[in-house]
Structure 1
Amino acid sequence: MTDSSPSDADDASPPEPLVSLPKSLRHELKDPIGPVETDPHSLLEVAGEPLVTVGDVVTYHVLEAGRTPDVAIVDGITKREAVDAVIRETVTAGETVDVENPQGALTDALIRALVAAIDDPDPVTILVDGEEDLATLPAIVAAPEGASVVYGQPDKGMVHAVVTDERRAAIRSLLTRFDGDPEALFSILDR
């Protein structure tokens, strides 16, 4: 039996990010990384393997179109508001892995969960307590050539980023300019 006082639980602090997005780079993330699709069926006709979705609404539309993403990363939020109960229940119906990840950052826990989920032959949903938006970037770095990473572009549709060596190199270059420890990030992603 372990002796723990009530104050031990109060001392829990949020995880330290490996890297965080500096304000000076925010403008570089405004443009979509691939073509924007509005029809999930059309997107799925050309989607590669594995299929990684980032965002609750995107994941929901892919599921409703009849495809379970190999990896789904969701946080229960869209446009800074909680998603409705139907979307929340639909996107978290399968196996989920819970991680904490603060806004504008990438934590060790999220990156390790992402890599494990990509390597898992079964579909995995990563449920983020915090924000999942930046997970698109390490997903592109970690996913194999030809994989599809799909994320939402608010009020536009779904961005379909096909993983290529050129795209992976561009994202790696961007991540090296993040604050924090990009080398630690890459040591996990380059398994």
Structure 2
Amino acid sequence: MLTLPTDLRTAFKEPFGPVYTETDALLADASSEETDAPLVAVGDVVTFHLRRAGRPPDVAVIDGKTKREAVGEEIRQAVETGRLVEVTNEPGTLSFDLVSALVDALDADEPTTLLVTGEEDLATLPAVVAAPLGSTVVYGQPDEGMVRVAVTAAAQAEMRDLLSQFGGDLDAVLSPLDA
């Protein structure tokens, strides 16, 4: 397991890409990147908005919460659909189970939702590293909107650099990314 050090928390205050308040604008920009590349959503509300806009993510990572509170029934029912894979990931950490499930979900032939017991907040980092170049990872920025991260070599290097600053066995947790 990797643990986010307290002094690194400030690195997550600023978004890793442009912030959108309109789902259609986000999807228009994402589709201009690479048409057949996966779309990954991290967060229940982001997943809900993408599904409602008619573009369900290829991989969704949800935990049944938004701003640490349970999501409403409408959102829960909308996001807990399709192939569900349950994983455990404690708050403030990244588990081997989560990283491994992300890699498997990106390789799956069908849309997959990872239902996290614990917290999915940090899943953006391994999602960017695991997704193929040209993919899009979208996550929620509380009280601001949705952040779109275009998966580029530079974005992957930035996420790996952040992950290298976590406490724990980096090589073990990230081994599915390098397989």
Question: TM-score per shorter chain, which class?
Answer: over 0.9
Show the counterpart of 1:121. 109
Which residue among 93, 97, 105 is the counterpart of 2:85?
97
User: Stretches of 4+ moved more than 4 A in 1?
Assistant: none
Show the counterpart of 1:79. 67
8 A Cα contact 2:99 2:174, kept in partner:
no
Q: What is the deviation of 1:45?
A: 1.3
State how far apart, in whole Å, the 1-side matches of 2:127 and 2:176 are: 12
Show the counterpart of 2:144. 156
8 A Cα contact 2:96 2:174, kept in partner:
no
Which residue among 19, 29, 50 is the counterpart of 1:36?
19
State how far apart, in whole Å, the 1-side matches of 2:66 and 2:112 are: 20
Deviates more, 1:88-97 or 1:39-48: 39-48
SS of 2:40's partner is strand
Which residue among 33, 54, 59 is the counterpart of 2:47?
59
State how far apart, in whole Å, the 2-side matches of 1:122 and 1:46 are: 23
8 A Cα contact 2:42 2:62, kept in partner:
yes
SS of 1:53's partner is strand
SS of 2:26's partner is helix
Q: What is the deviation of 1:188?
A: 1.4
**Gap runs ≥5 in structure 1:** 1-17
| CA displacement, residues 96-150 of structure 1 (integer Å, 9 cap, x when unaligned) | 0011110000111111110000111210000001100000000000001010000
State how far apart, in whole Å, the 2-side matches of 1:108 and 1:174 are: 17
SS of 1:113's partner is helix
Higher gyration radius (CA): 1
SS of 1:150's partner is strand
| CA displacement, residues 35-81 of structure 1 (integer Å, 9 cap, x when unaligned) | 00111111111224200000000000000000110000000000111
1:20-31 matches, within 5 Å, as 20-31=3-14
Q: What is the deviation of 1:186?
A: 2.5
The percent identity for this pair of structures is 55
**TM, length-normalised to structure 1:** 0.89
Q: What is the deviation of 1:189?
A: 1.0
**TM, length-normalised to structure 2:** 0.95
SS of 1:188's partner is helix
